[in-house]
Chains A and B, each alone.
Chain A
Amino acid sequence: MSAEKSAFQKLTVSGSPHIHGPESVSKIMWGVVIALLPALTVSIYYFGRPAVRTIIVSTAACVACEWLIQRFMLKKPVTVQDGSAVITGLLLAFNLPATLPWWMTVLGAMAAIGLAKMAYGGLGNNPFNPALVGRVFLLISFPVAMTTWPRPQPMADLERQAVEISAAAGSTATDALTGPTPLGLIKEGLQQGMTIDESIKHLGLTPWEMLTGQHAGSLGEVSVLAILLGGLFLLWRRIITWHIPAAFLGSAFVFAAILHAADPQAFLPPGFSLLSGGIMLGAFFMATDMVTSPMTPWGKIIFGLGCGVLTILIRNFGAYPEGVSFAILIMNAFVPLINRGFKPKRYGC
């Protein structure tokens, strides 16, 4: 028998299960990258070469930063090929004005990967969404550059514009080329004593323009339709579940509706709230980040609720016109607590 045995390969012994499902980390991560493509295309269409530059710089900086840290600081096997750094880079770029100077983008990428991800031990250990940490880091460090948004000009040559914007950053002379986001405009209007209705009229955007993103804003957040398309892809591939986006958008809508009903002239209408700013991007791509969101369905719903309510609170009562990033980061901090409190329902209980 032993002679026969040696003719064959050694058998492998391991515990069950002996087969594995089709899922893998890199499949999930590259799936998210694919889901980001529609919004990416739209942003390039609107913002042209500056957008391409910001996206490339951000992604490359994130990947390089992760590679350098893993290779030289941690001296561990390098895992950039799993695609998570690419996602962080893309999402960070999506949260920046297209015309942001490239070195600021690099700084943001370093904060995102170095501070928010690798410092905690890399993929899977970070409590906060890295891309959002990068964005908030930049927002606090460079408030003017981070709130100087170019106006979308389909297929126009924005190169010249970009130069002018950076030259004139901070002054009011750039109004022809740059503009505030709808939310920023309304916040400003409210401060100047305008009512919501007047502000919206002053904004002069049709719902279709809101949906397709023909207004100033961060690179990837402007087109609600493109983000929805990517979100549906994520849902279809079961990379995300419906709980967080539904709870996020639902609670934001309901809470905004309540405020609006209480005082229509001081608070934004709910429909406008959902179509403006980064709430769609946040609900489908940022809040649903697996690492920084809860595990159980009920936990996800609570997480989404918190994000939605906080977003509307910050938008209407806070100093910033937009609150999605802060809302998600705050809720990220609650995730361990939510995981403790909302256990899956056990069989037989």
Chain B
Amino acid sequence: MKTFHKGGVHPNDNKLNADAPAQVLTYNGPFCIMVSQHLGAPSRPIVQKGDQVKRGQPLTENTAFPGSVVHAPVSGTVQNVTEAPDTGNFARPAIFIQPEGDEKEDFISDDPTLEREISLSPQEIIERIKDMGIVGLGGACFPTHVKLSVPKDGKAEYLLINGVECEPYLIDDYRLMLDKPDEILVGIRILMKALSVDKAIVGIEANKPKAIALLRQKAADCDGITVEALRMKYPQGAEKQLVKALTGREVPSGKLPIHTGCVIQNVGTCFAVYEAVQKHKPLTERLVTVTGPCVESPRNFWVKIGTPVSALVEACGGRPENTGKVIAGGPMMGKALPHLDLPVTKGLSALLLLPEEQAHRRTAEHCIRCGKCVEACPMGLEPYLLHAAVRNKRMDLCERHHITDCIECGCCQYTCPSFRPLLDTLRLGKSKVNQIIRNRNTPTR
């Protein structure tokens, strides 16, 4: 079975209640839609207080490249265009909508039948994906249409589909692969057409045998699509590690996967692409896992973007008494939330509620130079060295030891027997070094 070779860790996968069917979350309160829900240049709202909006109506516009837009998840009135807290509790522009009636944009098709025929041209597909606000649903939220526009110095050969879901606890991609395999495959074919590649590989980790079997069976009659079972190892879902695992190629330092001929999309994105291209539906809904050791019934929900996170937790049996930490995303790379008054965004793949006893870090001890962080680093860096360099403010040393290659997967900190905050310092150092490099590259006068 294939996998990437360098580093990686094996956390317990904790896929709680993975076979529970997904549930559609009904919520009628006010929706809060963050204006910028993607990685890139911020968007600008184009609706005003008091406006009537239909479901699927765009609410924002791009200001610069790379940009993406958001759409109204429901029909209703714009209550306010103001600010709302993001995952870090920083106030960001947001649009509040009070749902009313059920009007939708005319172009949207709610017909659930599978539509296999792809009628659009590659250029039209990319344009449609852009207009429907599709972003990478794996968590990074990079605008999908940008990824599909291959730069001049690259050539796409492979489309790699990320169904790895290597983060513990997460089950949303798994559920999607079981529930919507045909749609995902059509989505893959649409992306293949847009990129004009003839080979697509779906990578799924071996702990999801049902998804592997189902997609293999369905993909048998799709030309060029293969399904690859991958040996379980974190961080297999990271772009560079997935490229290595599926194609054996390595993305050179400072380059993008496209420079090795690979474009990577998440299975969730494939489904969103299907909906956007075949049904003309904007991305206003996604599958979110709500899970945790103390959650009453961990499961997946189809949630409209803009629903408050607290409504999701309520639907899952409420917030357990002893919750000490709420994480947006998986336990290895997710963000700890300050409170639950936050809206669901496109990038929210899971809500993980950790009980108090698992919410805290252990006190850091001395580095015993065991080298386990070096062993675990999938990028071949030396976290112990970078950690010391950052603490001693030696940014030159950090740069020389390639801190900018760090993918922030957290393997080093996960494995450190002394509980040292390795990734904390590496992240800090990385941002400082990036700043230094930017300053150096911009002429001073």
Name A residues whose Cβ lies closer than 8 Å to a Cβ of B.
Answer: 1, 5, 8-9, 11-21, 23-25, 27-28, 79, 82, 84, 122-125, 290-292, 294-296, 343-349
Within 8 A of A (CB), among B298-351: 319, 321-327, 331-339, 341
Smallest distance from the beta carbon of A237 to chain B beta carbons, Å?
A: 12
User: In the assembly, what is the distance between CA of A20 and CA of B362, in Å?
Assistant: 9
List 4 other contacts, CB 8 Å, given A292-B369, A348-B250. Answer: A12-B325, A13-B325, A19-B11, A290-B369
Question: Given that A9-B356, A23-B415, A25-B418 are contacting pairs, would A295 and B368 also be in contact in the complex, using a CB cutoff of 8 Å?
Answer: no
Interface residues contributed by chain B, number (CB under 8 Å): 68
Residue of A whose beta carbon sits closest to that of B417: A23
A8–B313 Cα distance when bound, in Å, is 14
Which of B130-138, B173-181, B372-380 forms part of the interface with chain A? B372-380
CB-CB nearest 9 A-B residue pairs: A17-B410, A346-B380, A295-B371, A124-B366, A23-B417, A290-B370, A19-B331, A18-B331, A344-B380
**Least CB separation from B333: chain A residue:** A16
If A295-B382, A346-B379 touch, whether A11 touches B250 (CB-CB below 8 Å) is no
Residues of A within 8 A of B327 (CB): 18
Stretch from B53-61, B70-78, B195-203, B419-427 forming part of the interface with A: B419-427
Contacts of A295 in B (CB 8 A): 369, 371, 374, 382, 384
Question: Of A14, A17, A79, which is within 8 A of B365 by CB?
Answer: A79
A344 CB to nearest chain B CB (Å): 5
Contact residue among B319, B331, B367, B372 (Cβ-Cβ distance under 8 Å from A23): B372
Binary contact readout B406-443 vs A (1 if CB under 8 angstroms, 0 otherwise): 00101001111111010110010000000000000000
B152 in the interface, Cβ–Cβ < 8 Å?
Answer: no
| A interface secondary structure, majority | loop
Knowing A17-B414, A347-B244 touch, does A12 contact B405 (C-beta < 8 A)? Answer: no
A residues in contact with B323, CB < 8 Å = 8-9, 11
Q: How far apart are A288's CB and chain B's nearest CB, in angstroms?
A: 10
The residue of chain B having its C-beta at the shortest distance from the C-beta of A77 within the complex is B363
Contact A123 B366 (CB under 8 A): yes
- Which residue of chain A has the shortest Cβ distance to B168 in the bound complex? A19
Q: A344, B324: Cβ atoms under 8 Å?
A: no
For residue B339, which residues in chain A have a CB less than 8 angstroms away from its CB?
Answer: 5, 11
Question: Of all chain B residues, which has the CB nearest A15?
Answer: B424
22 A-B pairs, CB-CB below 8 angstroms?
A11-B359, A12-B325, A12-B359, A13-B336, A15-B427, A16-B334, A18-B331, A20-B419, A23-B372, A79-B366, A122-B366, A123-B366, A123-B368, A124-B366, A290-B368, A295-B369, A296-B374, A344-B382, A346-B379, A347-B378, A347-B379, A348-B253
CB atoms of A347 and B380 under 8 A apart = yes
Least CB separation from A121: chain B residue: B366
- Chain B contacts to A: CB under 8 angstroms: 6, 9, 11, 168, 240, 244, 250-253, 255, 319, 321-327, 331-339, 341, 352, 354, 356, 358-362, 365-372, 374, 377-382, 384, 402, 405, 408, 410, 413-419, 421, 423-424, 427
* Contact, CB under 8 Å: B319 / A18: no
Which residue from chain B places its CB closest to the CB of A335 in the assembled complex? B369
Pairwise interchain contact A344-B381, C-beta atoms closer than 8 A = yes
Task: Give the chain A neighbours of B352 by CB distance below 8 A.
Answer: 18
Contacts of A294 in B (CB 8 A): 371
B405 and A347 contact, CB distance less than 8 A:
yes
Is the beta-carbon distance between B251 and A18 smaller than 8 angstroms?
no
Bound-state CA distance A344–B402 (Å) is 12
A16 CB to nearest chain B CB (Å): 5
Q: Which residues of A contact B337 (CB under 8 A)?
A: 11, 13
Q: Which residues of the other chain, A, contact B360 by a CB distance below 8 angstroms?
A: 12
CA distance A136 to B381 in the complex (A): 36
List B contacts of A348 (CB < 8 A). 240, 250-253, 255, 379, 405
Q: In the complex, are the beta carbons of B9 and A18 less than 8 A apart?
A: no
Task: Compute how far the CA of A295 lies from the CA of B375 in the bound complex, rounded to whole angstroms.
Answer: 8
Chain A: minimal CB distance from B372 (Å) = 7
Contact status B322-A9, CB under 8 Å: yes
Q: For A346, list chain B residues within 8 Å (CB).
A: 253, 379-381, 402, 405
How far in angstroms is the closest Cβ of chain A from B194?
A: 27
Which residues of chain A come closer than 8 Å to B11, judged between CB atoms?
19, 21
Which residues of chain B come closer than 8 Å to A16, judged between CB atoms?
Answer: 331-336, 408, 410, 423
* A347 and B374 contacting across the interface, CB-CB below 8 Å: no
Is the beta-carbon distance between B379 and A25 smaller than 8 angstroms? no
Q: Contact check: which of B253, B361, B370 meets A28 at CB < 8 Å?
A: B370
**Central interface residue in B11, B251, B319, B366, by most chain A CB within 10 Å:** B366
Q: How far is the CA of A13 from the CA of B324 in the complex (A)?
A: 9
Residue numbers in B under 8 Å from A8 (CB-CB): 319, 321, 323
Contact A25 B365, beta carbon cutoff 8 Å: yes
- Kindly provide the distance from the CB of A78 to the nearest chain B CB, expressed in whole angstroms: 12
Given contacts A17-B423, A347-B405, contact A124 B368 (CB under 8 A): yes
Bound-complex Cα distance A170 to B417 (A): 47
Q: Name the contact of A14 in the complex, choosing from B326, B336, B417, B418 (C-beta under 8 A).
A: B336
Contact B419–A11 (Cβ < 8 Å): no
Report yes or no: A20 in contact with B356, Cβ–Cβ below 8 A: no
Cα of A25 to Cα of B364 in the assembled complex, Å: 10
Is A18 within 8 A of B332, CB to CB?
yes
Contacts of A343 in B (CB 8 A): 382
A14 to B326: give the CA distance in the assembly, Å: 11
Report the bound CA distance from A331 to B7 in whole Å: 27
* Pair B377/A344 contact, Cβ less than 8 Å: yes
In the complex formed, the residue of A with least CB distance to B362 is: A20
- Docked pose: A322 CA to B421 CA in angstroms: 43
Chain A residues near B382 (CB, 8 Å)?
Answer: 295, 343-344
Are A11 and B325 in touch, CB under 8 angstroms? yes
Q: B residues within 8 A CB of A19? A: 11, 168, 331-332, 358, 414
Q: Which residues of A contact B421 (CB under 8 A)?
A: 15
A125–B424 Cα distance when bound, in Å, is 22
Residues in A neighbouring B6, C-beta threshold 8 A = 345, 347
Tell me the complex Cα distance, A290–B375, Å.
13
Residues of chain A within 8 A (CB-CB) of B402 are: 346
Bound complex: CA of A154 vs CA of B253, how far in Å? 62
CA distance A122 to B321 in the complex (A): 42
Q: Could you say which residues of chain B place their CB within 8 Å of the CB of A9?
A: 322-324, 356
B413 touches A125 (CB 8 A): no
Chain A residues in 8 Å Cβ range of B321: 8
Contacts of A123 in B (CB 8 A): 365-366, 368
CA of A17 to CA of B361, assembled, Å = 10
Given contacts A11-B326, A290-B368, A345-B380, contact A17 B252 (CB under 8 A): no
Check A347 against B414 for contact (C-beta < 8 Å): no
Chain A residues within 8 Å of B338, by CB: 11, 13
**Contact (A18, B374) CB under 8 Å given A27-B417, A348-B240, A348-B250:** no
CB of B371 within 8 A of CB of A17, answer no
Docked pose: A348 CA to B377 CA in angstroms: 13
How far is the CB of A150 from the nearest CB of chain B, in Å? 35
